[in-house]
Structure 1
Amino acid sequence: MSLKKSILLIIIILLIDQASKIYIKTHFRLQDSVEVFSWFKIFFIENEGMAWGTRISDFVSFVSERTAKIALTIFRIIAIFGIGYWLYDATKKQGSKILTIAIALIFSGAMGNIIDSVFYGVLFSDSYMQVATFLPEGGGYDTLLHGKVVDMLYFPLYKGYLPEWLPIWGGQFFTFFEPVFNIADMAISTGFIMLIVFNRKAFPKAEATE
């Protein structure tokens, strides 16, 4: 797969990701939800941290949340350059199509969430008890690098109480699948899954050498 096709795939995913986020941000209030199916809802939340809402400050208590947020955003920006070089190198060396697609998916997903983290704080007003405004007159809800990632895809495939005989969690209310995510997260997850499931096809030269 050529670099041009990889870039085209990245652009398409970024457009879909950002269009969905901007629509949600400008049409939903925080915590608003719309049931599409019994097992799928559009549920608007904002994520200030890493995957599953984890924050650096959860592990390093002496670091303030705002400092941790900047550190996380800067780390993501540095990482995206590494992923970009990986994609360039893979296409230059004519790596397998699966490898190139997987890297492109990871790159586009990471870039999509970086855009939120870097710019959304200054581009939008907050969504608490109101629908956000794009480029509000009074300024955004926060400063550059302090934006929150917009999540909206929620798949509660199962909700119910676990059997009493189950160790530790028996009798507790359980939801599968609990996390709320976005198109960018889907792209990143799909890319990593491709690398794991199709590892031999993604890295054929490495397998041959071994």
Structure 2
Amino acid sequence: MKYRHVVFIVILILAIDQALKFWIKTHMFMQEEFIIFPNWFRIHFIENEGMAYGLKFGGDFGKILLTLFRLVAVVVGFVYMKRLVKEKYSTGLLICGSLILAGAAGNLIDSMFYGLIFNDSIGYEVAKFLPSGGGYGSFLHGRVVDMLYFPIYEGYLPKWIPFKGGDYFVFFRPVFNIADAAISVGVITILLFQKRFLGKHMQPSGGEKAIVKDTIS
């Protein structure tokens, strides 16, 4: 796998992620939803100011810090991916790394620019792209657009379940986006197949094996 393939995957995921977010922002108001498949898949528009799946970190200062961290991570990520390609790591690892990199870049774009290029989605108002009055926020203060919602199960848990018995429960509750999904798929796949992806690079070379053998002898 070549570096241009990594760049292609990143651009492809970014294009899909940003196209869907742009459509959501310019066609839906906050909390509006479309049911795609009854009982398990909906398009539900929300925004969050923090990390993936709506997590938050440290208020306004935390928002700036998180955005800057994403920026550094994306830059370092491209450099590191180039190194992995040069060292001929497995195609699976490179694809997963590309997904993680694309996801980080996708949410970074929201955080850096969406506050500048969109106004607020208030009430039943749909946001406008490049509004005459300016955006809802400043540079680095954009909110991440989420829309994918999979409430596969909704109901009250059996009372015999410890701690949560009898509580109303939704699985899967978080609303997320394409970028979040790309990061999750990349990370989970690496964790599941790390031995296959990294195995041959963790093995000592023939020369190193000979040195180890001589040392033992």
Provide structure 2 residue ranges, at least 5 long, that are not aligned to the other structure. 206-217
Partner in structure 1 of residue 19 of structure 2: 19
The letter of the residue matching 1:51 is A
Please, what TM-score do these two structures have when normalized by structure 2? 0.91
Q: CA deviation at 1:84?
A: 1.4
2:75 aligns with one of 72, 81, 86: 81
Secondary structure at 1:189 match in 2:
helix
Whole-angstrom distance in 1 between the partners of 2:136 and 2:95: 36
Partner in structure 1 of residue 142 of structure 2: 147
Query: Pairwise CA RMSD of aligned residues?
Result: 1.2
The letter of the residue matching 2:169 is F
Partner in structure 2 of residue 28 of structure 1: 28
Q: CA deviation at 1:56?
A: 1.8
Whole-angstrom distance in 2 between the partners of 1:155 and 1:56: 24
Contact 2:54 2:175 in 1 (8 A): no
Secondary structure at 2:163 match in 1:
coil
Aligned length in residues = 203
Please, what TM-score do these two structures have when normalized by structure 1? 0.94
- 1:59-98 superposed matches below 5 A: 65-98=59-92
Contact 1:124 1:135 in 2 (8 A): yes
The letter of the residue matching 1:200 is K
Q: CA deviation at 1:128?
A: 1.5
Q: CA deviation at 1:206?
A: 3.8
Q: Which one is further off, 112-121 or 3-12?
A: 3-12
Q: What do the CA deviations read for 1:13-47 (whole angstroms, capped 9, x no partner)?
A: 10000000000000000100000112100000001
Q: What do the CA deviations read for 1:131-177 (whole angstroms, capped 9, x no partner)?
A: 00000000000001000000000000000100011110000000000
Q: What do the CA deviations read for 1:163-209 (whole angstroms, capped 9, x no partner)?
A: 01111000000000000000001110111012111111211234424
Contact 2:47 2:145 in 1 (8 A): yes
Paired-residue identity, %: 49
Provide structure 1 residue ranges, at least 5 long, that are not aligned to the other structure. 58-64
Whole-angstrom distance in 2 between the partners of 1:108 and 1:54: 19
Secondary structure at 1:106 match in 2:
helix
The letter of the residue matching 1:33 is E
The letter of the residue matching 1:190 is V
Secondary structure at 2:126 match in 1:
coil
1:183 aligns with one of 178, 181, 186: 178
Partner in structure 1 of residue 51 of structure 2: 50
The letter of the residue matching 2:156 is Y
